[in-house]
Structure formats: C-alpha cells, structure tokens
Amino acid sequence: MAELGAALVLLIVASAVLCVLYAVGMFVSVGRDPLVAEPFLSGHAPTEHAVSRYHVRWYAVTLLFLAFDMEMVFMYPWALVVADIGLSAVVEMFGFLAVLLVGVLYAWREGALRWT
Amino acid sequence: MDLSRFAFARPHVLLIEAPGGTGARLALERVLRERGCPLADSPADADILAVAGGPLEQFADRVWEQLPGPRARFDLSDPEYAAAELDGAAGQLRELSRQRADAASRRPPLLSESDMDMDMPAGLQMADREPDRDGLQLDVLHLPWGPALPWWPAGLVVHSRMQGDVLADAQVSRIGGETPAAGFWLAAADSVGPARAGAAARLDSLTRLLAVAGWEAERLRAQRIRDDLLSAEPPAQTHQALRRLHRRVGRSSTLARMCAGVAGNGGVDVTARYRQWLTDAVAAVDTGADPPAAAPAEDISGLLTELLTGTELSAARLLVASLDPWLSGALVSGGRRV
Amino acid sequence: MSDGLLLWGALLLPFGLLLVAAAAASMSAALGDAAAGRPVTGLTLVQPVQEAARLLVVRRRRTVHPDALLWRVGGGTLFLTAVLAAAVVPIGQTPVVRSEVGVVWFNAAETLLWAALWLTGWGANSALGLVGGYRFLAQALAYELPMMLALITAALGAGSLDVVQVAAAQDGLWFVVWMPVAFAVFLIAALGFSFWGPFSHPVGADAAGGVLAELSGVDRLVVLIGRYAWLAAAAGMSVPLFLGGGAGPLLPSWLWWLAKTLAVLALLVWARWRWPVVRVDRFEEIAWVVLLPAVLLQTLVVSLVVI
C-alpha cells in the first residue's frame, strides 16, 4: 500500500503545481476572465459548431488494434513465466501472434491501413 | 528585472500576407528570424498581428479580435520599416496597464440574435449531414482557408466542405488579382539579377512548403539563403549553403514519402515540384541564368479546385504550397522571363 | 527505503521532472537558434523560462460554447500522467514508487494520453482542434502496439515487470546491445506519445496548430509543460529499460542515470530539427507492416535466449 500512498502524494503535489500556475496566471495576466473569441477560420465567421460526428476513416484500424491489444494484456504475465515454462510458452504465444499477424497482412492487402 | 520586458523579449507574431505584400513579408520574416521571434500558427498563439502589404479588409479585423492579449498590430507596406514597426508593436506589448485596459474593454463576439434558441447554442447551428464521396450521410463542416492564414498564398481563399479531415469539395477564389507577387519578383530581378531573383523566388515557395510539411530547421535555413540571395552582397558561403540545402531537402526520403503521390498532375507530384525548384535554384546560381519554369496548367485556380477535391487536409496544404510559385506569380512561365 | 524518504521523493519528483523538461526545452531552443543563424547564448537557454513568463501574462481564452471542463481536464492530464509515469523510474537505484508491475504502470499512464489529447482537441469546439485530436488517436493506434512490445521485450529479458529488476538484470550487458530494435521502437513511440518533432502532426502547422490552435495563456502553458514532461519521462524510462539504469563506474548511480537520461533526451529533441513531420495517414502502414513485425521478431529472439 505504500506505493499507492506515494502515488497519491504525487498526484496531489502535481495538481498543486498546476493550481499554482493558474493562480499566478490570475495575478499577472492582463485579464482575469478568459477572452471569449470565435474559433480561428482564417478571418471568416463560423457558420456552425465544430463538434460533430467526425468521419474517422481509419475505423478499420481500431478493430485491428482491439484484437491485438487484448492479446498484449496476456503478454505481460507471459513475459514473467517464459523462462520457467520454456519452449512451449514461446511456441504457443508466437503461434497465436502469427495468426494475428496474418490478420494484419490481410487487412493491409485490403487497404485498411491506407485511407488517403 | 522588468517582467514584461523579460516575458516579451521574443513576441510571437502572426504574419499574414495581403496581395502585394511580398516585399514586406520577406523583410518581416528576416527581422523575426534574426531576433528569434517565433511565427505563430494561429491567433491564440500570437502577441502581434502583422499584415504584410496593408490592410486585409475585414479578415484581419476578425483575426485581431481572436488575439488573447497583450496584443499589438500593424500593417506594413514599406519593407524599410519592418524593424521599426516591430519595435513599436513590441513596445506596446510591454505597456501592461494599457493592455489591461484593452482586455477589460473587449466584448464577446455577437454571433446571432437568437442566443436563447435551444437548437442553436450561442447562436450557431450544429453541423448538418450531407452525402460524402461514397454516398454515406456524414456530418459536414464548412471551413474557409485563407486569406488570413500563415504560410498561405496571398489573397487566395478556398471555401471547403469538410467531412472528417477530407475536403469533400473546394471553391477557389482570389482577392486582389491573379499574380500578386509578380511585381515584386520582377523588381528583384532588376536589382539583383534574374538568376539570384529566380533562385530566391523558388526558395521562398520552398519555405512555405517546408513550413506546412513541419520541417522548421530546413525552413529557417531556406529563409536564410533566400534573404542572402536578395541582399546586395550575398555572403561567400551562400552558394555552398544552397547546395547543402539541395542535398538535405532534395534527398530527404521522409519528406519525399510524405509528398509523393499528392496532387499528381501529368506525372508531377508535390515531391517532383519541390525537387525541381531546388535543382533550378542551384542551376540558376551556378550558371547565372534563370531556368524557365513551366506552369502546371493554363488555369491554375481551376487546377487547384480540381486537385483539392477529395484530398485530406495535410495533403491539401502541401498541394497549395506546391502551386505557390504560380498562384503568387513568383514564377510566371512564358511572358516574363525571356 | 523508509517511508520518510518515500514522502520526500514524492514531494520533489514533480519539480525534478519540471527541471529535466526545461532542459529539453532549452536544448530545443538552442537548436532552433542555430538553424536560424543566431548565436546561441545564455539567453537562448533561459528561453523556456521566458516563454513560461510570457504565457502567464497572456490572457486565457475560450471559444464560443466550448466544452470547457473536458478541455481543461485534457490539458492538465498531460502533466499529471507524466508525473505518474516518472514515479516508477528508478533515479539511480530507487524509484519514488517501487512497484512489482512498474512497466505496466508506465504503459497505463501513457494510455491516458489518448484521452488527454483527444479531449484537448475536442473541447475547444474548433474544427482545427478536432482534426488535431483525431490525428493523435490515429497516431496512437500506430505507435501503441510496437511500444507495448518493446516494453514487454525488456521485461522478458529480465523476467520481471519491476523496473528496478529490469535495470539490475543488465549487469554487464545493456539490453540495448541485444535488443536494439526494441530500443529504437521505444524511442519512436516516445516521439509519438509526446507528439513531438516528426510525430507532431496532431499539433501541425498545416492545421494551424491542431490541438493547440485555440489555446492561450496558462492553458497553453500547462499543455506545453505536460508535453515536455512526457519527453523527459520517456527519456528517463529508457535508461532502466535499455541502458543499464544507474550502472557506471566512479560516479554515483543517480548521476549516471541523469547523464544517460539527458543524452537520450538530447536525441529526442534533435529529432524534431532533423526530420519533417510524418503524416499519420502515411505512418499507419509503416507502423503495422514494418515496425510491428520487426519488434515481434525482436521479442521472439529474446524469448528464445531466455529459455
């Protein structure tokens, strides 16, 4: 539990640093309240709000990532036991990784990694 | 030490070029580089708004209202006064009591009367949906690019409809004529000779391309060589520096890969264009003659419209930068350099 | 380590991290002045302090109808997570937080950057910020897996997820010698998650500053500090993972750690001035088809060595 205590102290100190910065800013900046300004559009007025459903054309990559990322979580504990278990641990893990990698190559061939 | 003097020793400057402001922009860029003042990407990062070539109608005024403050602005038409104007503006930044008064007097922008409308928060509507290139119904944002935009050809305005970071379509228009920089470069050819002026014109376009491509170090070096070529007595090492730039930028595989295939037009893409500029600049200085530079198309605005449609934002910026010599009129094929 | 020392470490670490971060900013300022053809003087090196003072005087700003809470939370998260990441880095022999899973801890702190950057881009209600925020997510999809594999490779070599043990396992032979690919990938990822230099596409000039486009005053300062702090944390972490930690002759171990950290930091800073920005849409393919298989091969080699 000592680690978590130290981490908590760290978070408090780091947050305090940010608070002090904001406080100093309050005192020395030329205006206390934030300026309300239009978003920068090369000198034009905005015609709509920018927050919108953004077209993420790399959507397919996120799925590929998710598949791999689940696997990676298993690799952390795996790294600790490889030396004890030996070759079978390596074969099993890399066999699985090879399957995933084939998936990556397939996605690549299908053009999922390019979107422009 | 005086806080404001210390804090604003290197003010950030938002430098915008109005049509006909090439000379003023070059002079300002030189002073800012020598003083180590960063060029701001957007008004939020800027302390000083500098419009090279005089007022840019309502565009500069609107950007001016977006500077957070302390703020100062000036329009520069005579390159002679670049350093003096900058000194004056930097002095205004340090007058903190006046800046406080300015801050207190500013009011939020009035976007619409219908502030209370629930469908239009703050008087602005939400993004609407329109079909994209694949026929999907997607949110679309109307984004104008230019004229009050750094690293952008003077007077160029592109109205785009963006879906995600793709320009679904683009409408190109111009403020203040088709080739606003042609006059400046003709005068430069008269004063330092066509070869040096031709090389400097190409390097000037290269600096914008490097800025948009995010290569600050080479952008600064290209600016230095350009400024030296346009000075009355270029330092002895200028020629060597140009060759080094040609080697580093021209042979950079990373830059080439980022620009390859962007805006292909008759087999010429952005990579081919900037490599040609570098080769021509070296050739001009070597031989003392300005190599001819054929325009990629008769109707350069039309070509731009055609190429911009369906490109991703960073590709679009690279594309505009790669057509800069013809958009600005720095290199006009045929008529000028005979 | 006693509890008293632990507390002092926790109190001092954020400030230590700020100092190393300021060193990174100074180095970058020096390289910038050199490129501009200006003499590099003492004034160049205090430029980060100058810039911080400037941003404190500059007024904060917000756009019309922003998501202010998410916007500010995003900005602050950068620095807070950098401090948390640095907590498991052994400064010399001992970290502020000694954890059996320090390597995973570092990874977890880094993952929060996905949210931090995206929120900062989204919150501004500006199209430029939006583009920048999504660029970062695409970039993270590219660097994250190779980075995790690089971390796992170092842990595999030591048979432990404790950063102290990883450093101790390099007695005699630094991991960088037989895991060069993992080291290189870690550095590339460090540039990626610090959105620095070649990987600064999320704050690129072509999008008028992207995530940073609408930020001014303290808000901007906090984001910039967080970014430099992450660069510093990444450099600091690379030392126990690949460069033997605090090992070295004569000098005390913390000094060796600091010297190696500053050397790696200088390399990361230099990269900004050496290469142009790598567009995310072009990097995605390279990351998945080149970096990922390369680092997997590295992991395979290391796992065959340790059995």
Q: pLDDT for B251-272, tens place per residue?
A: 999 999 998 888 777 778 899 9
Encode pLDDT of C19-71 as tens digits: 999 999 999 999 999 999 888 888 889 999 999 999 999 999 998 888 888 98
| pLDDT at site A19 | 96
The band of B114, judged by pLDDT with boundaries at 50, 70 and 90, is low
Q: Using CB atoms and an 8 Å cut-off, which of residues 120-159 of chain B contact chain C?
A: 121-122, 124, 141, 143, 149-151
- Can you tell me the distance from the alpha carbon of B110 to that of B124, in angstroms, rounded to the nearest whole number? 11
pLDDT band at B334 (very low <50, low <70, confident <90, very high): very low
Q: Which domain holds residue A111?
A: 56-116
Q: Is residue A81 part of a domain?
A: yes
Neighbours of A56 (CB within 10 A): 15
Q: How many CB atoms lie within 10 A of CB C93?
A: 17
Task: Give residue C64's pLDDT.
Answer: 86
Residue B115 confidence class, pLDDT cut points 50, 70, 90? low
pLDDT at residue number C115: 95
Nearest to B148 by CA among B40, B223, B70: B40
Q: Which amino acid is at C238?
A: S
Share of chain C above pLDDT 90, in %: 81
Whether C5 shows a pLDDT value over 70: the answer reads no
- Nearest alpha-carbon partner for C77 in C123, C27, C113: C113
Distance CA C253, CA C240 (A): 11
Find where tokens 């953004």 sit.
A54
Q: Decide if B310 contacts B167 (C-beta within 8 A).
A: yes
Query: CB B42 to CB C65 under 8 A?
Result: no
Given this model, what pLDDT does residue C4 score? 64
C89 touching chain A per CB within 8 A: no
Q: What is the mean pLDDT of residues C207-222?
A: 95
| Chain B neighbors of A57, CB-CB under 8 A | 164, 166
Model confidence pLDDT, tens digit, residues B61-98: 999 999 998 999 999 999 999 999 999 999 999 999 99
pLDDT over 60 (residue C213): yes
Average pLDDT, chain B: 88
In a domain? residue A66:
yes
Dist. CA A45–CA A34, nearest whole Å: 20
Instruction: Give the count of domains, chain C.
Output: 1
Q: In one letter, which amino acid is B262?
A: V
Distance, in angstroms, between A55 CA and closest chain C CA? Answer: 10
CA distance A92 to chain C (A): 12
Q: Indicate the burial class of C3 (C-beta count within 10 angstroms; 0-12, 13-18, 19 or more).
A: exposed
What is the domain extent for residue C12?
3-306
Q: How far apart (Å, rounded) are the C-alpha atoms in residues C89 and C97?
A: 8
List chain A pLDDT tens, one digit each, 116 residues: 677 888 888 999 999 999 999 999 999 999 889 999 999 999 998 888 888 888 888 888 999 999 888 888 889 999 999 988 989 999 999 999 999 999 999 999 988 888 77
Residue A42 lies in a domain: no
Cα atoms in the 13 Å half-sphere on the side-chain side of C23: 20
Q: What domains appear along chain B, each with residue ranges and CATH number?
A: 3-105 (3.40.50.12280), 182-328 (no CATH)
Mean pLDDT, range C271-290, rounded to an integer: 94
**What is the model's pLDDT at position B116?**
54
Q: Which residues pair with B159 in a beta bridge?
A: B144, B171
Confidence (pLDDT) at B333: 47
Please report the pLDDT score of residue B112 as a whole number. Answer: 55
- Residue B335 has a pLDDT of 41
- Residue of C55, C96, C126, C185 to mutate when probing chain A, most A C-beta within 10 A: C126
Q: Is residue C3 over pLDDT 70? A: no
Domain count, chain A: 1
User: Going by DSSP bridges, is the β-strand pair B72-76/B166-174 parallel, antiparallel, or unpaired?
Assistant: unpaired
Residue C105 to residues A76, B190, C2, C16, C93, Cα–Cα distance (Å): 11, 65, 22, 20, 18
pTM for the complete prediction?
Answer: 0.94
Shortest Cα distance from B84 to chain A (angstroms)? 25
Residue C209 touches chain B, beta carbons under 8 Å: yes
Q: Which residues of A touch B60 (CB under 8 A)?
A: 43
- Of these ranges, B26-40, B163-177, B319-333, the one predicted with the greatest mean pLDDT is B26-40
At B119 the pLDDT is 63
Please tell me whether residue C23 adopts helix, strand or coil conformation.
Answer: helix
- At residue A67, the pLDDT reads 87
Residue A26 lies in a domain: no
The mean pLDDT value for C235-258 works out to 92
From C43's Cα to the closest Cα of chain A, the distance in A is 22
Q: Is C73 on the interface with A (CB under 8 A)?
A: no
C23 interfacial to chain A (CB closer than 8 Å): no
- pLDDT-derived band at B336, boundaries 50, 70, 90: very low
